A and B are shown apart, each in its own frame.
Chain A
Amino acid sequence: MTIQETYKARVKKLLASGTVKMVIGYKPGTTADRRRPHFIRTPEEADQLVLDSACITNLSGYLLSEGLLSDEKAVAIFLKPDGIRSINILAAEAQLNSEQILILGFDSNDNQVTALEGEKVEEFTTLIESIKEQAPEALKNPLLEQIEGMTPKERFAFWQGEFSRCIKCYACRQACPMCYCRRCIVDCNQPQWVNTSSHTLGNFEWNIVRAFHLSGRCVGCGNCDRACPVNIPLRLINAKMAQEVLGAFDHFSGMSHTQEPVLASFKKDDSETFIL
């Protein structure tokens, strides 16, 4: 049996037995290379389920849909390692109870999908630890290094060019599982810290704020990057911030459901070479 079929059978069983009330997975999209989020509530609906290397969206954000988890019933969800890490963060930040989430883990490499053993988020700790070990290498990116090699003026000009295209549709925010604030800081207007207008200054400010709020929280799933209708390389900024918190505080986001958020904790001997 292919992994897709194995998982399909498992999903049907989970729903038929009432173990979970819903399974969040993927189904075919408009074109051959697209997949849509699929909310499966009956075994029959599982027939449409697809699991292949085109399933790239991190679905974990849907768990915070209003009312979904409030009845304390279990929900199963298809997640890649980055998605599993986001469950850890959401649990650590008290947005959900990880006990309620049943993980149907998978990963894809070279167009091959493999199943990941485990159901509860704790069972993936070893996997996440190995991802952390590879992180310094994995976070490297030629364009990122190129930007780091620029003078501040060139960097500013680079991002000015990228951000000038932003239309402030907030697809990056909405697509991100970590952006769950009921009211985003840019939607607060007393006071209005950054410009809501979509001129380059407003766009610059918005993107800085977004990246800062994701520092040490982003799992690098790429939802924001793919959602951006004008293709701003948001993943670069997120990767840079992930490198930074890893280097400075040995913090890798989403290690466990009890991990302290990096900016809500401190060590007395944190580096402070830059402070006069």
Chain B
Amino acid sequence: MNEIFEPKIVAFVCTYCTYAGADLAGTSRLKYAPNVRIVRLPCTGRISPMFILKALQKGADGVLISGCHPGDCHFTHGNYHARRRWMVFRALLEFTGIPSERVKYSWISAAEGGKFADLMNSITEDIRKLGPFDQYNALIKETEAPATF
């Protein structure tokens, strides 16, 4: 049982900035933790809180949401709308006991390949320290179990 816990992390990113940043990290041969699965979307404005819930439902130990810096949005203000939404959703998750350490938000531009790689590494390490999301996993397990009564 000495196996190191490898967290599963889902990253929802916008195609114009963070995805391009991830691409840059790749073409620059930057090495980063392979624990992150990237889902590319047109804009952070398209990232519905439903996606976060879905990722958790499917057993993600952490979620990252990332897009263009304020002012840089390809659609001019998609990320401003997203920012408000996150602010509220983050508070809600915290209030219901889903720790904010597991759901992170960032701005990463197309030029920030280094920031992308560093963030993937630090998030992976942070969540590795937190361990699996046992409380949520128990709920998921319950859905697979036969009725008890």
Residues 122-143 of chain B, each 1 if its beta carbon lies under 8 Å from chain A, else 0: 0000000000000110011011
Q: Please tell me if the beta carbons of A263 and B142 are within 8 angstroms of each other in the complex.
A: no
Q: Please tell me if the beta carbons of B96 and A208 are within 8 angstroms of each other in the complex.
A: yes
A194 to B57, CA, bound (A): 8
**Count the B residues whose beta carbon is within 8 Å of the partner chain — how many?**
40
Q: Does B35 contact A (CB under 8 A)?
A: no
Min distance, Cβ A111 to any Cβ of chain B, angstroms: 33
Min distance, Cβ A160 to any Cβ of chain B, angstroms: 7
Q: Does A154 contact B (CB under 8 A)?
A: yes
Q: Which residues of A contact B97 (CB under 8 A)?
A: 150, 152-160
Q: Please tell me if the beta carbons of A241 and B91 are within 8 angstroms of each other in the complex.
A: yes
Binds B, one of A17-25, A76-84, A266-274: A266-274
Q: Please tell me if the beta carbons of B88 and A193 are within 8 angstroms of each other in the complex.
A: no
Q: Please tell me if the beta carbons of B142 and A201 are within 8 angstroms of each other in the complex.
A: yes
Q: Please tell me if the beta carbons of B98 and A156 are within 8 angstroms of each other in the complex.
A: yes
Q: Please tell me if the beta carbons of A195 and B57 are within 8 angstroms of each other in the complex.
A: yes
Q: Which residue of A lies closest to B105 (CB)?
A: A275
Interface residues of A (CB under 8 A from B): 147-148, 150, 152-160, 185, 193-195, 197, 199-202, 204-205, 207-209, 211-212, 215-216, 237, 240-241, 244-245, 248-249, 262-268, 270-272, 274-276
Q: Please tell me if the beta carbons of B83 and A211 are within 8 angstroms of each other in the complex.
A: no
Q: Does B89 contact A (CB under 8 A)?
A: yes
A-B contact pairs, 17 of them (CB 8 A): A150-B97, A153-B97, A153-B135, A156-B98, A156-B135, A157-B135, A202-B143, A215-B88, A237-B95, A237-B96, A240-B91, A244-B91, A248-B91, A270-B83, A270-B84, A275-B86, A276-B119
Binds A, one of B5-13, B26-34, B47-55: B47-55
Q: Does B4 contact A (CB under 8 A)?
A: no
A158 to B95, CA, bound (A): 10
Q: Does B74 contact A (CB under 8 A)?
A: no
Q: Which residue of A lies closest to B93 (CB)?
A: A208
Q: Does B90 contact A (CB under 8 A)?
A: yes
Q: Does B38 contact A (CB under 8 A)?
A: no
Min distance, Cβ B106 to any Cβ of chain A, angstroms: 4
Interface residues of B (CB under 8 A from A): 48-50, 53-54, 57, 70-71, 77, 80-81, 83-100, 104-107, 119, 135-136, 139-140, 142-143
**CB contact between A274 and one of B54, B90, B119 (< 8 Å): that residue:** B90
A83 to B71, CA, bound (A): 38
Q: Which residue of B lies closest to A197 (CB)?
A: B143
Min distance, Cβ A264 to any Cβ of chain B, angstroms: 8
Which of B89, B96, B119 has its CB near the most chain A CB atoms (within 10 A)? B96
Q: Please tell me if the beta carbons of A205 and B57 are within 8 angstroms of each other in the complex.
A: yes
Q: Please tell me if the beta carbons of A152 and B99 are within 8 angstroms of each other in the complex.
A: yes
Given A193-B53, A200-B142, A215-B92, do A263 and B85 touch, yes or no (CB 8 Å)? yes
Q: Which residue of B lies closest to A155 (CB)?
A: B97
Min distance, Cβ A271 to any Cβ of chain B, angstroms: 7
A272 to B96, CA, bound (A): 21
Q: Please tell me if the beta carbons of A263 and B84 are within 8 angstroms of each other in the complex.
A: yes
Q: Which residues of B contact A274 (CB under 8 A)?
A: 86-87, 90, 100, 105
Min distance, Cβ B63 to any Cβ of chain A, angstroms: 13
